[in-house]
Structure 1
Amino acid sequence: MLLVLILLVVIAFIVIATTTFKVHPFLALLIAAFLAAFAYGLPLADIAKTITSGFGGILGYIGLVIVLGTIIGIILEKSGAAITMADSVIRVLGERFPTLTMSIIGYIVSIPVFCDSGFVILNSLKESLATRLKTSSVAMSVALATGLYATHTFVPPTPGPIAAAGNLGLENNLGLVIAVGAVVAAVAAAAGMLWARLFANVEPDLVDEASETVHHDWAALKASYGTLPSAGQAFAPILVPIGLICLGSIANFPSQPVGEGVVYQALAFLGQPLTALVIGLFLSMRLLKSDSKIAEFSERISEGIVAAAPILLITGAGGAFGAVLKATPLGEFLGTTLSGLGVGVFMPFIVAAALKSAQGSSTVALVTTSALVAPLLPQLGLDTEMGGVLTVMAIGAGAMTVSHANDSFFWVVSQFSRMSVGLAYRAQTMATLVQGVTAMALVYVLSLVLL
């Protein structure tokens, strides 16, 4: 019981440090790693080595992938490619089902672009469609936000799911994570959209506030980007890497569907996440607009590195924390206890939901929980490839439950949608609760079928 008490105290420290005292999650996780090492009685000579190896180990697997994915997202955002994606979806779906259209747009755009940025970029499109189709702006806001949120927490190359997959040893099976994540995210987005429709007759209750930020003309916003890229150019940096990663995963199936010859070697190489995202990065160069493309490319890389740095540090610190826990007898004790309770795949969901609701960041919840449960997978009966994938999904479901006042995305959605805090809690926060619970229910069903 003392082992569990120590763990609860360390988790409480992470939550209180990041919420009450506003300590950066990187530092909080690093200190937590030292506290856990001392509390569990690791040999003093091994503590620093365990922490540094855990930090470097996870970044060695997944660090470059996070950086490349972030840079691609920056280029898509700055070039207007996200605008093109939105227009392409509208052309395909039409305007008959506005909330469905907004949900699908959010689902696609948030795979490479952070959900906060995606909402800001697409806000004027949402407002324009709401006015043109005489649809509630609140319903459209929730549909867009939940669509963005779904892929943000479930589908690589978004940094949170990538880091979680790396912590659980799935860095070479991202294709399977993407495939399962896309399905779970689609169900979560559908749940969010259905909740949004409950607000079809509800209008914003802060119409006069923030009015300058929302009454943009969609055509004017598009014009501000100059010549927009074609749909093929806009989607290629996302779809080509995802396709290559999935093909690489298929080639590595135990049944050897493509044999072991040249085709296998080519697909295995191109399907490595690092290789696939390097190809995606070069494809994104076609989106650059300035006369000096090399200078613009360098600038975007710099912006991407700056944006990725906090994620890399948090991910590395999460790996260090996880390495310390692996070196303790906690895993064996918890595994034996939890297996007797039969909580299985619900355990990662509960921990991630507690962390997310307490400290606000989905990425921190994904990284911390995955580092925490990695040593427990055998005892939880989740130490197979599919077990690891479903664990990532369970953590993702918890990491979206719930978005409220300590989450920056909550404030982006509420302020740009002219919703008071009360309305935002009813519309957006409850939507993320519905999403998380629905996604976890699907993960549980999948665990019964696939494990």
Structure 2
Amino acid sequence: MPDWYTLGVVALVIIAVVLAIVRFRINPVIALAVGAAGIGLLTGLGPVDTVKTMTTGFGEVMMEAGLLIAWGVLIGAMLNEMGAITRLVDTLLRAFGPKGIPYALGLSFATYLQTIFIDVMIVMAAPLARRIAPRLGKAGTGIIAATFAISLETGIVLMVPGFAAVALAGLLDVPLGIMMLGGLAVVVPTVILAIIVMTVLFRAGFWNPARDEEETIHDESSEEEPALVRSASAADGVELDSTRSGTLRTAVGGTPNRHASGAATAAAGEPPLLLLFGPMLSALALIAAQAVLTVLGIENPVMQFLGDPVIALLLAVIATGLVGRAAVGIKRIEKSLVKGFQDGGQIFVLTGVGGSLAAVIAQGDLGEVLKGYFQATTWAPILVVWVMAALLHIAVGSVTLSAITAAGIIAPAAASLGLNPLIIALAAGAGALFCIHVTSNTFWLLKLFLGQSVRGALKTVTIGVSVASVIALGMTLILSVFVH
């Protein structure tokens, strides 16, 4: 088929998917599935092969990412039930002080805390964050809010065990350990530099407390609060069961925010904080160690088993469950696991359907078509996938959906260009961070729980995360020089 026809079909179908989600409120999973089928039929794949390709793509991605997402959901649910987040924030404040807390919080949220749903971390950590803000000066609320937004959103798409990062790794067949190391190389400088940029801007006068701040949700109030605006895709966060601040229930664990008020200090009999996070940190260390051994060409059967992400995270689930049973009891841990699985369901399906879309596109000749446009430099597809993910995110409001869709479109050309799939995954994740705005549930949660006006949230979330998106693109381009 002519190049213009193939490109036109894919472009029109993607536009139709975006309109279906935004204008007609069709669930993203259904819209993507119909879009994948449409591309297959319109590009001559045929009815039988279209269905076969879709199911194969779904299965291949879930084979890579399904169990990993499940283990992450379970670990996050149990940590939330044990009140680990608020205790960690309090500990970081004591350890790093007011000046260092934005960076300590940012790197924690963007890396090892990514097993916990974004919305849950905001709800649990916000009370302590509001107490920290005044100690950072007049622009403290803006600095803390930007730290939350930058780190939480960056981690979910670039850093394993973030759900979108795991999905991208599965979609592009990137070993999870390699995705973790590559993500770490991009995330750490991105978070630090983005927080520095926003801190300088806010302290230079870009933050106006009189106009950018307003009354926040009280820790223990019974007043009704405005309904939270849901994201266009629940895959980027989880829905809250109530809008009453005093009885706000998180979607993971399903229990009231018992840790929202008062100092988050360990009461007598509570397990040490390191014990709560120890299993997850150990699992991530095993995965990273095995990835390093793989890069060095060293084969060790024991490490190959223990460092496999499925086994490492499974061991973390078991160990966290044992700690949780001792800390809060069997019933509460079991209840949190059941609720976690329920709320993680759409993430599983969205990830698989993203694989279906990518598989259908790969079956056609789009890869050869794109190759013809990218001959000049291998940087071109990196920039294109970033722009594609950015535009999709502006339209749809879902970082996960936009990253997966952009990566799936560009993936067929990656192998023929000699471009490492890791770089494609990181570029898609970086682009999906651009211009998070009012269609995002995270935008409204950060506004409500951190005491910002809409104007303030546009500065901390929309501008702050967009700065991180551009920096992450730069870091990815630098990494592409060394990764082939």
- TM-score of the superposed pair, with normalisation by structure 2: 0.84
| 2:115 partner SS | coil
| 1:97 partner SS | helix
1:235 corresponds to 2:235: no
Aligned pair partner of 2:5 in 2, 7, 11: 2
Q: 2:394 touches 2:436 (CA, 8 Å); kept in 1?
A: yes
Match of 2:191 in 1: 189
CA-to-aligned-CA distance 1:317-366 (integer Å, 9 cap, x gap): 11111111111111111122222475132122111111111111111122
Shift in Å at residue 6 of structure 1?
Answer: 0.7
Shift in Å at residue 294 of structure 1?
Answer: 3.9
Alignment of 1:95-106 (within 5 A): 95-106=98-109
Match of 2:18 in 1: 15
Cα distance in 1 for residues equivalent to 2:363 and 2:111:
40
Cα distance in 1 for residues equivalent to 2:458 and 2:477:
27
Aligned pair partner of 1:144 in 139, 145, 148: 148
In structure 2, runs of 5+ residues without a counterpart are: 222-245, 247-258
| 1:339 partner SS | coil
Cα distance in 1 for residues equivalent to 2:210 and 2:346:
34
Tell me which moved more, 120-129 or 195-204. Answer: 195-204
Aligned pair partner of 1:350 in 362, 376, 387: 387
Match of 1:256 in 2: 297
Cα distance in 1 for residues equivalent to 2:67 and 2:161:
11
Cα distance in 2 for residues equivalent to 1:53 and 1:392:
21
Q: 2:87 touches 2:265 (CA, 8 Å); kept in 1?
A: no
The sequence identity of aligned pairs, in percent, is: 25
Cα distance in 2 for residues equivalent to 1:379 and 1:277:
34
Summarize the Cα distance change of 1:11–1:95 in structure 2 as closer, same or farther, 3 Å threshold: same
Tell me which moved more, 296-305 or 226-235. Answer: 226-235
Shift in Å at residue 207 of structure 1?
Answer: 5.6
| 2:209 partner SS | coil
Match of 2:236 in 1: none
Q: 2:54 touches 2:356 (CA, 8 Å); kept in 1?
A: yes
1:284 corresponds to 2:326: no
Summarize the Cα distance change of 1:138–1:226 in structure 2 as closer, same or farther, 3 Å threshold: farther
2:285 maps to a residue whose letter is G
In structure 1, runs of 5+ residues without a counterpart are: none
Q: 1:82 touches 1:234 (CA, 8 Å); kept in 2?
A: no
CA-to-aligned-CA distance 1:112-148 (integer Å, 9 cap, x gap): 2222221221111111112355452122211222122
Tell me which moved more, 199-208 or 240-249. Answer: 199-208
Shift in Å at residue 180 of structure 1?
Answer: 1.7
| 1:94 partner SS | helix
Q: 2:212 touches 2:454 (CA, 8 Å); kept in 1?
A: no
Shift in Å at residue 195 of structure 1?
Answer: 3.4
1:440 maps to a residue whose letter is L
Aligned pair partner of 1:369 in 406, 424, 428: 406
Alignment of 1:405-420 (within 5 A): 405-420=438-453
Summarize the Cα distance change of 1:293–1:418 in structure 2 as closer, same or farther, 3 Å threshold: closer
| 1:22 partner SS | coil
How many residue pairs get aligned? The number is: 439
Aligned pair partner of 1:432 in 465, 472, 484: 465
Aligned pair partner of 1:163 in 167, 175, 181: 167
1:297 maps to a residue whose letter is I
Match of 1:325 in 2: 361
Cα distance in 2 for residues equivalent to 1:108 and 1:27:
31
Tell me which moved more, 12-21 or 26-35. Answer: 12-21
Q: 1:114 touches 1:152 (CA, 8 Å); kept in 2?
A: no
Cα distance in 2 for residues equivalent to 1:214 and 1:4:
55
| 1:229 partner SS | coil
- TM-score of the superposed pair, with normalisation by structure 1: 0.90
| 1:222 partner SS | coil
CA-to-aligned-CA distance 1:52-88 (integer Å, 9 cap, x gap): 1111121122111111111111111121112232233
RMSD in angstroms over aligned alpha carbons?
2.5
Match of 1:72 in 2: 75
Q: 1:314 touches 1:367 (CA, 8 Å); kept in 2?
A: no
Summarize the Cα distance change of 1:208–1:420 in structure 2 as closer, same or farther, 3 Å threshold: closer
Q: 1:205 touches 1:418 (CA, 8 Å); kept in 2?
A: no
